[in-house]
Amino acid sequence: MIQTVATTPYADQKPGTSGLRKKTTVFQQPNYVENYVQSIFDSLDGFSGKTLVIGGDGRYFNREAIQKAIRIALANGFGRIVVGRGGLLSTPAASALIRSLKAYGGIILSASHNPGGPDGDFGIKYNAENGGPAPEKLTDRIFAGAQTIAVIKTLDTPDVDIDALGTTKLDGGTVEIVDPVTNYAALMRTLFDFDAIRALFASGFRMRFDAMHAITGPYAHAILEGELGAPAGTVVNGTPLPDFGGHHPDPNLTYAKALYDEMMSKDAPDFGAASDGDGDRNLIIGRGQFVTPSDSLAMLAADARLAPGYAKGLKGIARSMPTSAAADRVAAKLGVACYETPTGWKFFGNLLDAGKATICGEESAGTGSDHVREKDGLWAVLLWLNILAKRRISVAELARQHWATYGRNYYTRHDFEEVDLAAANALMDALRAQFASLPGQRFGALTVEAADDFEYHDPVDGSDTKGQGVRVMFAGGSRIVYRLSGTGTVGATLRVYIERYEPPGENLALDAQAALADLIGLSRSLAEIEQRTGRKAPSVVT
Ligand code: VG1
Ligand code: CO
């Protein structure tokens, strides 16, 4: 029943920060999914008879794409395909499953925090046997293969029933439908003190978890409300919907505004959290206290020992370059190394595999550890709960104590979404053209110390990655970083990351936008954002 189908390449199948991400309509073109999936397998070898994990975040076109991937995987020689029931697997759960099954790899159908639906976005990611996103050298190979692809191998079989647990035998192998939560929940039980968290909820601690109609709903219902005894209603928007209820499943202050407003209200619960489309991001807000993802990474690292999975301490901490240096101060105090990588989780894989880092994080609301090879939204929420259950203080008090010890890295990110691509590239080029003249220049109280384009030398495999974001660094540790998004699908998204360090002392409780006002102003003028893009204000402030 193996069929060989002739095809022609699509020129645009270049994976970005996290897999191939395009408009759903692009993926619906004839053979578009098939070409890319076949190109993935063409760039791999030695998988004959082995296991492949497949799952997605439940967005529109997920089910169709999964059927295609199953057929192509079996026709190419995989022996066993393991699929989450309903085609569902969060990104971290897929990573965990690949690792615990010792699978060859996995395919995750998701455009993560991008909107879904017929007019939204779709995506395909490949994860390797360590459970982590394909490294750059593999994504380069996949792209190269997609440029010359001529044949797709597939099966001529009807759709597999992906809604019923159990195993189906097909030509060349088996398809196994598994519960998407079971394996992941078991892993969480090994890392966290569930009894302590249960006692916290039993004491009247109130929480709101906004699953944003995305993949974490079933996980949060089962773990938070099911196992940990949080009252029913703790999890809201807990049913995954193909279009995420028409919302943008990105847990930040703009798109998770309802949660933010509730947490700032008079009758706010003690703890608020949200996760994104594919469940790898987390947003943390205490009653009356937003915690930036960069601070969350630092605070989790500082108290990680309170969770059984990290009781022996951390081997090291890693953060993406635009993430604030708050975690660096914790690493210094713990006496462990801190690594600074380009944006995207694929750069953490080597450090985690080599045992150089235990906890990693990104300013974009991604935090995770060596338990999997992806960032993990619910994991971060559970670590927060574990820490709060042990310390029995509020999020606001924990933050106050943290800043009193380490000082505070005031931080904000301003996104200018869907700007003209040529204008965005010209803006970045113009910034690079100022590298030579910027050092030494003064802007009010700010003096530029250095300006460059971030480059990363991977200490494990020796690879070099260039052009990872323009940094303008000021005396005293303040910083403005400019990057173009590698996950957007329309025009360009300009991300501007702004940071200022305030040492322990008086000024630790300011509003971040106010504390950063002069840097924010400078970030606009230095890059001529309005002149070049026509935008007076960012579309997302977080
Ligand atoms: C963004 C974030 C990055 C994150 C990536 C994938 O990338 O900045 O930190 O790893 O999304 O996250 P970019 O290139 O758009 O800035 V997700 O939750 O989409 O898997
Ligand atoms: Co995501």
Task: Kindly tell me if the per-residue pLDDT of 38 is higher than 90.
Answer: yes
Q: Region 291-306: what's the mean pLDDT?
A: 98
For 490-508, the pLDDT digits (tens) are: 899 999 999 999 999 999 9
Q: Region 339-364: what's the mean pLDDT?
A: 97
Q: Please tell me if the CB atom of residue 276 comes closer than 6 angstroms to any atom of ligand 1.
A: yes
CA 150 / ligand 2 centre spacing (Å): 32
Residue of 17, 367, 540 with the most ligand 1 atoms within 8 Å of its CB, for mutation: 17
Q: What amino acid is encoded at 493 in this protein? A: T
Radius of gyration of the CA atoms of the chain, in A: 23
**Three-class SS of residue 221?**
helix
Give the residue numbers annotated as catalytic, written as ranges: 112
Confidence (pLDDT) at 505:
94
Confidence (pLDDT) at 320:
98
Task: Kindly tell me if the per-residue pLDDT of 352 is higher than 90.
Answer: yes
% of the chain surpassing 90 pLDDT: 96
CA 210 / ligand 1 centre spacing (Å): 20
Task: Kindly tell me if the per-residue pLDDT of 73 is higher than 90.
Answer: yes
Interacting residues of 511 by C-beta distance below 8 A, sequence separation 6+: none
For 80-125, the pLDDT digits (tens) are: 999 999 999 999 999 999 999 999 999 999 999 999 999 999 999 9
Q: Is 23 left (phi over 0), alpha (psi -120 to 50) or beta?
A: beta
Q: Please tell me if the CB atom of residue 374 comes closer than 6 angstroms to any atom of ligand 1.
A: no
Q: What average pLDDT does the chain have?
A: 97
Confidence (pLDDT) at 490:
87
Confidence (pLDDT) at 22:
96
Task: Kindly tell me if the per-residue pLDDT of 357 is higher than 90.
Answer: yes
151 Cα distance to chain centroid: 33
Give the separation between CA 362 and CA 384, rounded to whole angstroms.
16
Confidence (pLDDT) at 534:
97
Nearest residue (CA) to ligand 1, atom 13: 485
For 435-457, the pLDDT digits (tens) are: 999 999 999 999 999 999 999 99
Q: Which atom of ligand 1 is nearest to the CA of 281?
A: 18
Q: Which atom of ligand 1 is nearest to the CA of 487?
A: 15
Model-level pTM? Answer: 0.96
Which residues are bridge partners to 124 per DSSP? 20, 109
- Where residue 487 falls among pLDDT bands split at 50, 70, 90? confident
Ligand nearest to the CA of 361: 1
Ligand nearest to the CA of 111: 1
- Where residue 424 falls among pLDDT bands split at 50, 70, 90? very high
Q: Which atom of ligand 1 is nearest to the CA of 91?
A: 20
CA 114 / ligand 2 centre spacing (Å): 8
- Where residue 169 falls among pLDDT bands split at 50, 70, 90? very high
Confidence (pLDDT) at 488:
84
Nearest residue (CA) to ligand 1, atom 10: 344
Q: Please tell me if the CB atom of residue 495 comes closer than 6 angstroms to any atom of ligand 1.
A: yes
Residue of 343, 375, 468 with the most ligand 1 atoms within 8 Å of its CB, for mutation: 343
Q: Please tell me if the CB atom of residue 280 comes closer than 6 angstroms to any atom of ligand 1.
A: yes
C-alpha dist (Å) from residue 223 to 96, 180, 228, 253, 367 = 16, 12, 6, 25, 19
User: With contact defined as beta carbons under 8 Å apart, do 339 and 319 qualify?
Assistant: yes
**Three-class SS of residue 138?**
helix
Task: Kindly tell me if the per-residue pLDDT of 489 is higher than 90.
Answer: no
What tokens were used for 482? 């400019």
Q: Region 467-486: what's the mean pLDDT?
A: 96
Confidence (pLDDT) at 201:
98
Q: Please tell me if the CB atom of residue 18 comes closer than 6 angstroms to any atom of ligand 1.
A: yes
- Where residue 214 falls among pLDDT bands split at 50, 70, 90? very high
CA 346 / ligand 2 centre spacing (Å): 13
CA 276 / ligand 2 centre spacing (Å): 6
Confidence (pLDDT) at 172:
80
% of the chain surpassing 70 pLDDT: 100
User: With contact defined as beta carbons under 8 Å apart, do 109 and 84 qualify?
Assistant: no
Q: What amino acid is encoded at 196 in this protein? A: A
CA 24 / ligand 1 centre spacing (Å): 18
User: With contact defined as beta carbons under 8 Å apart, do 121 and 248 qualify?
Assistant: no
Confidence (pLDDT) at 171:
78
Give the separation between CA 376 and CA 398, rounded to whole angstroms.
22
Confidence (pLDDT) at 143:
97
CA 66 / ligand 2 centre spacing (Å): 19
Q: Which atom of ligand 1 is nearest to the CA of 16?
A: 14
Ligand nearest to the CA of 216: 2
Q: Please tell me if the CB atom of residue 323 comes closer than 6 angstroms to any atom of ligand 1.
A: no
User: With contact defined as beta carbons under 8 Å apart, do 142 and 43 qualify?
Assistant: yes
Q: What amino acid is encoded at 280 in this protein? A: D
Q: Which atom of ligand 1 is nearest to the CA of 250?
A: 18
Q: Which atom of ligand 1 is nearest to the CA of 280?
A: 18
